[in-house]
Amino acid sequence: MDDAGPRLLTQSAELRERALKRTPGGVHSNVRLSGSRDFIRCARGAWLYSVDGHDYVDYLLGQGPNFLGHAPQPIVDAVFAACRDGIIFGGQHELEVRAAELVCDAVGWPDMIRFSMTGTEAVQAALRLARAATGRTKIIRFEGHYHGWLDNVLISQRDGKWGAASAGQLTSHLDDSVILPWNDATAVAEALERHEIAAVIMEPIMINAGVIEPLPGYLDAIRELTRQHSSVLIFDEVISGFRLGLGGGAARYGVTPDLVTYGKAIAGGFPVAALAGNAELMSRFGTGEVNHAGTFNSSVMATAAVTATLTSLLEDPPYDRITQHGNALMAGLREISAAHNVPLRIVGLPQAFHVAFGDADVTDYRSLQQLDLARYEQLSRVLVEHGIWVAGRGVWYVSASHGERELEVALTRFDKALTDWVA
């Protein structure tokens, strides 16, 4: 990155002007409305390169999917090679069998799997399946957990109340949701007594808001309670799946759900998600009792990407390398911020951690609000200007392609960013 003066975004500005004419907000996902104004020319490994000649060490990773780094050669090669012989058949093919076997075997406990394109869809399939299996409609879900952008799962907090997050959203679609604070097993126990609950859905580690881990015994308690009440336990591992290890959060915390959703890290950057679970539940799709469909589900591209990604994770597990980088990065960021007297709180796992201003005992979304999240959002813009690509909401992702060089560059740039920030 050039260190000469302010970062120019001339070509990005031109592209943005064109984009704004044809695309609302100039973006195709509202999550990107608050992101950087740079346009990206290309990406390799842990690096993004902009059309204006700037480079960035990437700790956003496309919101998570680039777990193996950008454009991982074996995955891209496998997908391109497979697609030469057709992309979508409207019929079955061997790669989808292989991909299903690989995922189920790698994770260990699920008997069966269905692929979809997005995490949002996988969650919808899980909820429908749970409702069909239990004959109940209500679900328990949690403050701060994200399960996609559709009407029945998208929530935000306004004036202390949780509800619809978007204009045009059918609020009635949230009528069957019991929204509880997370990490509070008593609240779940009471709700299970009061309502007939089809499913309890949660991120087993709340990465979307604050990268908050479950308290010791919490997941076990929820597992026990859902068994007692014959409710389906769904872990939404769209972020944590394959990132925390092959078994995701379920393996890390030693608790097996009935259903699990995957996405992001499962396919080396390609658009793939999945719902997996035990045969008793999943086979309801196979009899036709429960509908689950999608023109592009289990395309050659998707299943080649999953197969190559799983093969790579099994043959050359990146987890130790990622842990090393993530720990060194967190330690470096802490040291530098302390040296600048910038009160940053850096917590979480080496694969995904959270950065914010302040200090508090954070166990759920409510206590997360004690931190100064808005101030970090301002700092995140300064970090991007200094060549570190991060999201405003404070989550940093580490990939298999972050190494020594990236660490050195990231910390040097962080130091410079804080020097300018405090000046």
Q: Residue with structure tokens 């915390």? A: 253
Amino acid 99 reads A
Query: Is residue 204 part of the contact set for ligand PLP (CB under 6 A)?
Result: no
Nearer of residues 208 and 380 to ligand PLP, judged by Cβ: 208
Nearer of residues 9 and 250 to ligand PLP, judged by Cβ: 250
Q: At 252, phi and psi to the nearest 5?
A: -60, -40
DSSP 108-119: SS-SEEEEES-H
Query: Is residue 208 part of the contact set for ligand PLP (CB under 6 A)?
Result: yes
Site string for ligand PLP, 44-83 (x = CB under 6 A): -------------------x--------------------
Query: Is residue 236 part of the contact set for ligand PLP (CB under 6 A)?
Result: yes
- Could you say which residues in the range 153-172 bind ligand PLP, by CB under 6 A? none
Residue among 59, 67, 146, 357 that touches ligand PLP (CB under 6 A): 146
Q: Assess whether 253 carries a catalytic annotation.
A: no
Q: Residue with structure tokens 């950087």? A: 36
Q: Is 364 helix (H, G, I), strand (E, B) or coil?
A: coil
- In angstroms, the CA 398 to CA 208 distance is 15
Q: Assess whether 58 carries a catalytic annotation.
A: no
Task: Return the residue nearest ligand PLP (CB atom).
Answer: 119
Q: Assess whether 236 carries a catalytic annotation.
A: yes
Given the residues 146, 253, 262, 376, the one annotated as active site: 146
- In angstroms, the CA 275 to CA 261 distance is 5
Residue 51, burial from CB neighbour count under 10 angstroms (0-12, 13-18, 19+) = middle
Instruction: Please state the closest distance from residue 223 (CB atom) to ligand PLP, in A.
Output: 19
Binding region for ligand PLP (CB under 6 A) out of 143-151, 170-178, 322-330, 338-346: 143-151
Nearer of residues 102 and 207 to ligand PLP, judged by Cβ: 207
Query: Is residue 263 part of the contact set for ligand PLP (CB under 6 A)?
Result: yes
The candidate with the shortest Cα–Cα distance to 276, out of 289, 254, 258, 264, is 258
Strand 259-262 and strand 55-58: the pairing is: unpaired
Residue among 147, 243, 345, 402 that touches ligand PLP (CB under 6 A): 147
Query: Is residue 199 part of the contact set for ligand PLP (CB under 6 A)?
Result: no
Nearer of residues 208 and 303 to ligand PLP, judged by Cβ: 208
Q: Residue with structure tokens 């346009």? A: 39
Query: Is residue 182 part of the contact set for ligand PLP (CB under 6 A)?
Result: no
Given the residues 58, 236, 258, 415, the one annotated as active site: 236
Nearer of residues 250 and 333 to ligand PLP, judged by Cβ: 250
- In angstroms, the CA 281 to CA 111 distance is 10
Query: Is residue 238 part of the contact set for ligand PLP (CB under 6 A)?
Result: yes
DSSP 167-214: TT--GGGGTTEEEE-TT-HHHHHHHHHHS-EEEEEE-SSBTTTT-BPP
- In angstroms, the CA 246 to CA 255 distance is 14
Nearer of residues 110 and 387 to ligand PLP, judged by Cβ: 110
Q: Residue with structure tokens 């009160």? A: 343
Given the residues 56, 138, 253, 264, the one annotated as active site: 264
DSSP 234-270: EEEETTTTTTSSTTHHHHHHT---SEEEE-GGGGTTS
Nearer of residues 391 and 411 to ligand PLP, judged by Cβ: 391
Instruction: Please state the closest distance from residue 149 (CB atom) to ligand PLP, in A.
Output: 7
DSSP 270-300: SS-EEEEE-HHHHHHHHTTSS----TTTT-H
Residue among 69, 110, 148, 326 that touches ligand PLP (CB under 6 A): 148
| Active site residue ranges | 146, 236, 264
Binding site for ligand PLP (CB under 6 A): 63, 118-120, 123, 146-148, 203, 208, 236, 238-239, 263, 273
